[in-house]
């Protein structure tokens, strides 16, 4: 019985480690240019200020941080789905990142209660939001590019 429980715990831990590594690989994706700043100039998102407060080491209220990051997440999620003229679905990578964000959002109050690496979790969430901001910017730029006219046949 104990062996089964140990195997289950080790398997679950390895699965979570694998998912986290996969998410980190997705977040390392390089975009052709930094769409992040263009989107931030047009929207008033809170996560850059949260990221700045975390790097400065300022005292933070995790309930306010959670609310700000959650609002930014829903804004970016809406823009990814409905920002381009043709509605599009999330890709597999984007779905994985959104599930990872929701997991971190769910665990933030628990981490805050136990004072267990809550700053690192909030920083990961801002990195995910930055990635989604780049996805929004890329989809808007790609949908705004003119389509080349077909060449006439002679």
Question: Looking at residue 102, what is its pLDDT?
Answer: 93
Q: What angle do CA 6, 110, 120 make, to 5 degrees?
A: 95
In the numeric block, which tokens belong to residue 92?
């597999």
Residues in the chain: 154
Q: How far is it, in rounded angstroms, from Cα 34 to Cα 21?
A: 24
Question: Looking at residue 69, what is its pLDDT?
Answer: 92
Q: What is the pTM of this model?
A: 0.81
Separation of first and last alpha carbons in the chain: 79
Question: Looking at residue 149, what is its pLDDT?
Answer: 44
Q: Who contacts 31 (Cβ-Cβ below 8 Å, separation ≥6)? A: 134, 137, 138
- For the chain of 154 residues, list the mean pLDDT of each consecutive stretch of 10: 93 91 86 72 84 86 89 89 67 88 90 86 91 82 54 50
Question: Looking at residue 154, what is its pLDDT?
Answer: 44
């Amino acid at each position: 019985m104990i062996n089964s429980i140990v195997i289950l715990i080790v398997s679950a831990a390895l699965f979570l480690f694998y998912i986290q590594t996969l998410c980190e690989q997705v977040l390392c994706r390089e975009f052709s240019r930094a769409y992040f700043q263009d989107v931030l100039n047009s929207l008033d998102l809170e996560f850059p200020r949260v990221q700045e407060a975390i790097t400065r080491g300022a005292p933070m209220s995790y309930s306010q941080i959670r609310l700000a990051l959650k609002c930014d997440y829903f804004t970016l999620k809406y823009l990814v789905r409905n920002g381009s003229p043709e509605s599009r679905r999330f890709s597999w990578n984007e779905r994985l990142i959104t599930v990872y964000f929701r997991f971190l959002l769910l665990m933030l109050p628990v981490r805050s209660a136990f004072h267990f690496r809550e700053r690192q979790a909030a920083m990961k969430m801002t990195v995910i939001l930055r990635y989604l901001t780049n996805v929004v910017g890329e989809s808007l730029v790609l949908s705004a590019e003119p389509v080349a006219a077909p060449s006439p046949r002679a």
